[in-house]
Amino acid sequence: MNWQDEYSKKLISADEAAKLVKSGDWVEYGFGINCARDFDEALAQRTDELTDVKIRCDIGAYQHFTAEADPEGQHFLWHSWHVGAHDKKFIGKNLYYIPMKFHENPMMTRKDCEPDNVAVIQVTPMDKHGYFNFGGSSVNCWAAMETAEITILEVNQNLPRCLGGNQECVHITQVDYIIESKNQPIATIGSAEPSEVEAKMAGYIIDRLYNGNCIQLGIGGTPNAVGKMVAASDLKDLGVHTEMYVDAYLEMFKAGKITGARKNLDRYKQVYSFAMGSRELYDYIDDNPGLASYSVDYTNNPAVIAQIDDFVSINACIEVDLFGQVCAETVGTRHISGTGGQLDFVEGAYKSKNGQSFICLPSTIEIKGQLTSRIKATLSPGAIVTDPRTATHMLVTEYGIANMKGKSTWERAEALVNIAHPKFRDELIAEADKMNIWRRSNRVEGAIINF
């Protein structure tokens, strides 16, 4: 069947699509590199005509035209599931965060969120079968489309066509309107070289990896350093199951480390929910049958992760306290990042047979010229708990690894003091003593501690 006639009937301009939005509407954009761009630019031209239009998005990877057009948020108010780079200058002004566990995003979209009046998702061109592909982000596109009154696709020829998986494509008969975009380049992110501290933390983790591990890398210098070191190691037959597919996986694949041959779920496939990285990365995932793009309620479901033996999860955080509580979202009350999938993988990896979950942070940070410990007696006032003490598995600094599982409060405090910067250890011991979680000292200066 020739689907081009159907395509032509549904084709409208970005300006015409923007006119479908009414005051008071909820509008949902696609995730990451699938975020609407030309539509948002056209909608911003209607600023004076509209009030109280609420836009919901997760890591919108492009310029936020509507947010820029209305700094007070009277006409357009953004809501972010995470708060990415483009969101940060608007947070607390005309953009607000929606707390979530990432694997619950599609469920919340279908069950708890105010239904979308309009959903707009950037997609690849239609294929001969009448299908469009969500490209690098299958996270929650279908959940948004299922709950929207009006569905609009914004076609961009530069998006990679990513094979699935599940919920990675949509048919021409399942949407209301099509916009042919300006085909702007899709967003890329770089991967900086790891610092000396990040490389040291990565080294401790590498020592605990073995052939056949299935690896999830989060955002941050240490996960990136692990990927680079794996690429240069003797490890083999590694698997991939992750929310975010980044350039570190490409490096590992090119080095022959990734085969997925030992995975007991989705064997031989590199599984992910969204991709963000270099143009080379997008070219690699384009039409690549070795990868499978899934919705995030599959990739990040702790019950699914737990089924994969020898799972290793590597993420980063901002600070931890002596109870083992982890903050990866805020500095005090200042928003830095969302919960994302960290808790999903912390819980899922631990429940995997032989699974390991690592959360990494340098032991110190310099603030206004003053060295400050990132291991604290208690979290900073207002700091958000991303991982409760009951979930935290292994914490890593440049001084070693501390295992929180099965440890009493004094054992946790002792293990964390031993991976804190030496300058702050006595101070932390004194604080632990005041809180009645200190029993004795087993500090070993200058040693790698694995509790």
Contact 310, 216 (CB under 8 A): no
Q: Taking the CA of residue 127 as centre, how many other CA atoms within 13 Å lie in the half-sphere pointing to its CB?
A: 15
Which tokens hold the place of 131?
Answer: 């299908």
Whole-angstrom distance, CA of residue 270 vs CA of residue 288: 10
CA distance 235 to 216: 15
Q: Read off the tokens for 92.
A: 């607390």
Q: Classify strands 326-327 and 319-321 as parallel, antiparallel or unpaired.
A: antiparallel
10 Å Cβ neighbour count for 450? 15
**How far is residue 35 from each of residues 19, 140, 219, measured CA to CA in Å?**
19, 12, 20
Query: Which residues are known to be catalytic?
Result: 243
Tokens of 198: 């990040």
Q: Is the dihedral of CA 230, 231, 232, 238 positive or negative?
A: positive
CB atoms within 10 A of CB 200: 19
- Work out whether the CA dihedral 340, 352, 203, 233 comes out positive or negative: negative
DSSP classification of residue 243: S
